[in-house]
Amino acid sequence: MKAAFVTDVEKVEVKEIEKPVITDTEVLIKAKTVGVCGSDLHLFRGTHPFRHAPAILGHEIAGEVVEVGSRVTKFKPGDRVTVEPQVGCGHCEMCEKGYISLCPGKKVPGTPKWIGAFAEYFNAEEDIVYKLEDKTSYEMGTLAEPLAVAVHTINHAETKSGSLVILGAGTIGQLVLAVAKQRGFGPIIVTDTAPFNREFALAHGADAAFDPLTEDVPAKVKELTGGRGADLVIVAAGADNILDQACQCLHKCGEMGIVAMITKEIPFYCYAIVFNEIKVYGAMCYEPKDFKEAIDMINGDLDLSDYVTQEMDGIEKTQEGLDILSQKKENVVKVLIKIS
């Protein structure tokens, strides 16, 4: 089968490899659509702290089951599915608490233990495979994974209502907006350097959207919150000043959630945290319960079809898809590669 390898910094080559051989408890999925994720860009650009080329990227997959292991009970060939792309060791303290994404021995796609999703076939344990309703497209199935990140980011906050600022309106920021809107947060204020992303956020429920390069974001946030500042700020972009900006947007006792993977050191005036008793949390992927919530949303009423701004035909387009997201060559929220 064909698989798209990142072979060097920002370089993708499609190669022939063996199809994955499934175990008794796995299913084999013929890939239909695979999403390009902001988190794929770290390895693609050669800036990932510990993962490097060569690797097959991709972890946002929807497709059709073509083969099932002998002990698989929930799936049969022909089922339309998506996958929660993480498997915990099952016996560490984090796995016992249900925090699979924090398991030190977790298995994720694109590593020596598990193929990445930019390939014609993908194997997965049946426990992490989810059925798509007939009305749910493969495209929406692919969006379940980034939506689960957004669900977890909001679920993990102690703040359950009030004013929200989202710094960065790429895929993750836009999906955080969609989830927060459903939960009744408001006003919701968004920043992004790209005009298209600000307009997209405004069209999808944001009350205001600013360019952080030309506007004084904390001042604008204060103005829109009656001088008070926000209850919750989500950091979904990785600029050098973003943590200071987040702090300055917050009300006393406010909360900052960091979902952006900022893999370099950035300056940060931490006294603001102490002085205003700000709470800070990180959000890493999702717990299985967040993923199930995301699946229910896409199998239910949430329509995210216009979040797919580019759908490119054929695995050979993986290079172009990664380039578009990496270089923001076009207006982009989510790039999908249609594998078959």
Ligand X SMILES: NC(=O)c1ccc[n+]([C@@H]2O[C@H](COP(=O)([O-])OP(=O)(O)OC[C@H]3O[C@@H](n4cnc5c(N)ncnc54)[C@H](O)[C@@H]3O)[C@@H](O)[C@H]2O)c1
Summarize as ranges the residues that interact with ligand X (CB under 6 A). Answer: 37-39, 149, 167-173, 191-194, 197, 212, 236-239, 242, 259-261, 283-285
Q: Which does 239 bind (CB under 5 to 8 A by kind): ligand X, Zn ion, none?
A: ligand X
Q: Which does 191 bind (CB under 5 to 8 A by kind): ligand X, Zn ion, none?
A: ligand X
* Residue (126 or 145) nearer to ligand X, CB: 145
Closest distance between Zn ion and the C-beta of residue 59, in Å? 6
Closest distance between ligand X and the C-beta of residue 332, in Å? 7
Closest distance between ligand X and the C-beta of residue 175, in Å? 8
Q: Which residues neighbour 146 within 8 Å (Cβ) at sequence distance 6 or greater?
A: 35, 37, 60, 171, 172, 175, 334
* Residue (68 or 177) nearer to ligand X, CB: 177
| Separation CA 318–CA 336 (nearest Å) | 9
Closest distance between Zn ion and the C-beta of residue 94, in Å? 5
Q: Which does 190 bind (CB under 5 to 8 A by kind): Zn ion, ligand X, none?
A: none
Helix locations, the chain, DSSP H = 40-44, 93-96, 138-155, 171-183, 195-203, 217-224, 242-249, 271-275, 288-299, 318-327
Binding footprint of Zn ion on the chain (CB under 5 A): 37, 60, 88-89, 92, 95, 103, 146
Q: Which two tokens stand for residue 3?
A: 């698989």
* Residue (159 or 191) nearer to ligand X, CB: 191
H/E stretch holding 81 = strand 80-83
Closest distance between Zn ion and the C-beta of residue 95, in Å? 3
* Residue (22 or 242) nearer to ligand X, CB: 242
CA 253 to chain centre: 27
Closest distance between Zn ion and the C-beta of residue 40, in Å? 7
Q: Are 191 and 217 in contact (CB under 8 A)?
A: yes
Which phi and psi (to 5°) does residue 112 adopt? -55, -25
> For residue 77, is the peptide bond before it cis, meaning its omega torsion is within 30 degrees of 0?
no
H/E stretch holding 56 = strand 55-56
* Residue (80 or 334) nearer to ligand X, CB: 334
* Residue (89 or 219) nearer to Zn ion, CB: 89
